[in-house]
Amino acid sequence: MTFNSISFAIFLPVLLVLYYAVYRRQPLRDILLLAASYIFYMCWYWQYAGLIVLSTIVDYALGVKMDKERSKRKKRLYLIMSLTVNLGLLAIFKYYNFFADSAFSTLGLFGVEIPHTYSSLLLPVGISFYTFQTLSYSIDVYRGDIPHERSLIKFSVFVSFFPQLVAGPIVRARDFLPQINRPTHLKASDVERGTMLVFIGLFKKIIIADLLAFLIVDEVFSAPGNYSSTDLLISLYAYAFQIYCDFSGYSDIAIGIALLLGFRLPINFNRPYLSQNPSEFWRRWHISLSQWLRDYLYISLGGNRGGRWFTTRNLLITMLLGGLWHGAAWNFILWGAYHGLILVLFRNMITEKKFGFKMVTKIVFNFHLILFSWLIFRVSNMEVFLEYIGGLFALNFKSNTNSIVFFILAIAALSHFIPTSTSNKMKEYFCSSLNGFVRAGLYAGLLLLFIGSSIGEPTFIYFQF
């Protein structure tokens, strides 16, 4: 079940009707949210719900142990147990084949042939997200930043909360558990804003991301040698906005649904292509992941303490592992290494405060640094990458790109680069000034547009991570 599916269009209204009937009674509210979350996840592959149950029980029990334990050595042992179970599951289901294949291929270069088998296990949807989520809880309890959660039901809701379960934002226990531990107060303004965010997210996904993929991106990346330099460049621009609208669209829907249920999730995107340097990009792109990597990996490695070389090492390690988090493939590792390198090279680039030529130049330059990284991220292998690069520099300017692509790109760019103040005024006007019947009519029209524009039910890009 995905947010852009017919089954979810039935699931969500039914859940909201039930939820609004019981949300004032916390025990019923929690049980309903837990049941809905597992139903949502099990619609994909019910057997793998057991992995979430395992992570939940292990981290709940170890959290209780760590919070009560006075011996630092034993607390560290409990934390190691949590890390072992969670990262072990991630290694088995996500990385086994990649590391096994890499190891045996390396041995083969030296003439050592060892019989080996590959795992046929499916990659559980969302495992990278809920693993990082439960790990943050264990680490925070170990550090003494938060107390352990007393209720197993409430902790289970935190781990499995369906709006952000499979593709984030990655929610911290310190942010979510206080919300689940107090009565829910639904506000009309939150319901209106949540509804609007859901429709904004669906628009980004169906009208922009899916159509760009269908009209140009998938076709060009499957055979770049068949296209001109111009079409290859347009396709790369299209992919930059496809992945942004696909992922930020999911986050908008997740945040919107959470608001409909009375919960607040952290912002995950803040117009990242307006960044003036790589550091600012990571403060604006996939914010919940970049903050997780900063707080639990980069700072733990020493951060920027210890001088330039230690900082460089820590940045490279953090981004390499961040790349590996995205997928068990060399292009993701190279993508992470590339981001680590540009973070090091442009770490001291000054961010301009006033709009002007310097600011625009830096934004354009940084956007193209990021654009090249998306080529590394998207290609399936080195042969395709080299073919794409060769085509870009072939200087063949003939273009067969459908004019609709330019129209969609214009909408994507306009929605991305429009000033935040203007965007907020438009949203405020829509929610507070337009008649309720007019808003309902517009939403109904958008639903018809989504249905008419949908090409199957393509999953969100980050489901594979």
Question: Which sequence positions are flagged as catalytic?
Answer: 326
Nearest to 53 by CA among 18, 23, 85: 85
What are the distances in angstroms from CA 260 to CA 129, 133, 158, 176, 280?
A: 22, 22, 17, 15, 31
3-state secondary structure 97-125: HHHHHHHHHHHHHCCCCCCCCCCCCCCCC
Task: Describe the chain by its helix, strand, coil percentages, rounded to 5.
Answer: 75, 0, 25
Angstrom distance (rounded) from CA 129 to CA 92: 16
Angstrom distance (rounded) from CA 92 to CA 20: 40
Angstrom distance (rounded) from CA 42 to CA 47: 7
Angstrom distance (rounded) from CA 353 to CA 255: 30
Burial of 323 (0-12, 13-18, 19+ CB in 10 A): buried
What tokens were used for 292? 């997780």
